[in-house]
Amino acid sequence: MILGIVVIFFLIFLMVIFPTRIKIINKILFLFTLIILILFAAFRDGKSVNDYELYVGAWYWASYEKTTIEASFIFIRDILRDGLRLHYLSIFIIYAILGVVTKLFAIKKIANNFYLAVLIYLSHFYILHELTQMRAGVAAGFILLAIAPLYNRNIKQFLFLTSIAIVFHYSAVLMLPLWFVRTNKNTKFLYYLVPIGIVFYVTGFNFIQKIPIPYFQTKLDTYQKLTEDGVEGYAKINVFNAFYLLRVLIFYFVMIFRHKIAEHSKYFYLLLRIEGISLFALPTLAIIPAIAYRVHEFLGIVELVLYPLIIYAFRIRIVGYFVVIMIALIMFCVNIFYNKLILF
């Protein structure tokens, strides 16, 4: 499986360094990219990634009550399993299609450089979402689609897309407060978000448990108990891990050159703010790792569009391309060899 993902990474890399303006070729390449990413995710080796057996098990569960998995998963499963009498692989195919299609179409709509954005996608979120957390992957795809209506202040489209995201993963509800995020040039305050988050982390300040919502508090208590018991997937986290520090470094680089980069994308300041909130969330909510990672990764989906814009920070454009490609390569290697999202 490692070889397969490396080959796909190399193919996308070739598309980045050998671009074409011929429309028919671009359409063919887009379709090829779409199909290859869907097929690889749908027919992935279950022994090489996490969560695969969980979904296979969920396929055979008799009722919704046996799990906290979203009702949408059960609904799709029941249609495929009981209505159409299909194999459990069918649900992996459906989620692969939804996860890949939503992200690629969102990238095509709001990214300046499609294949550079796909390279960033492949280096992290494709591995994390489409190959592992496929429910979160579909939700993240709809969140990315909601960026354009969020920028355009189209509340109907924003709420529609966010609602679909929530149906596929309840954690997507955290997208709703982003409606109040501004899109102007006043972004100096973003410099302080990460340091403030780290102060919260070091001092152990836990404001999230003060939210007076009974159902929310019950879920938090459950997560905290699982964390204290050291249950896999809920263990305490080290905020100062290599991947987070890399993202922080990139964020501050982008902040330094923000005025230069902003000239090339109307979505830039919105994306920058959401990324800042994502980086703030991980240390701030680290006392409850399951929530911290979920908020951090959901909002961090904007990196697919934000990171390729780094090329505009450089006067010599080829240097910018080199930097972004290196970021993708580093993230790709970190996910495979450090985070071990794909097992050997």
Using the predicted structure, report yes or no on whether residue 215 has a pLDDT greater than 50: no
Separation CA 217–CA 238 (nearest Å): 24
User: For a pLDDT cut of 90, what percent of the chain falls above it?
Assistant: 72
- Amino acid present at 33: T
Position 23 scores a pLDDT of: 92
Triad 221, 201, 182: Cα angle to 5°: 95
Q: What is the pLDDT of residues 52-99, one digit of tens each?
A: 998 999 998 865 555 568 889 999 999 999 999 999 999 999 999 999
How are the residues of the chain apportioned to helix, strand and coil, as percentages rounded to the nearest 5?
Answer: 75, 0, 25
The torsion defined by the Cα of 228, 230, 235 and 238, in degrees rounded to 10, comes to 80
User: What mean pLDDT is predicted for residues 132-158?
Assistant: 96
Nearest residue to 133 via CA among 177, 169, 82, 104: 169
User: What mean pLDDT is predicted for residues 31-56?
Assistant: 94
Position 314 scores a pLDDT of: 96
User: What mean pLDDT is predicted for residues 194-223?
Assistant: 69
Confidence of residue 337 (pLDDT cuts 50, 70, 90): confident
Using the predicted structure, report yes or no on whether residue 133 has a pLDDT greater than 80: yes
Position 122 scores a pLDDT of: 97
> DSSP code of 184?
S
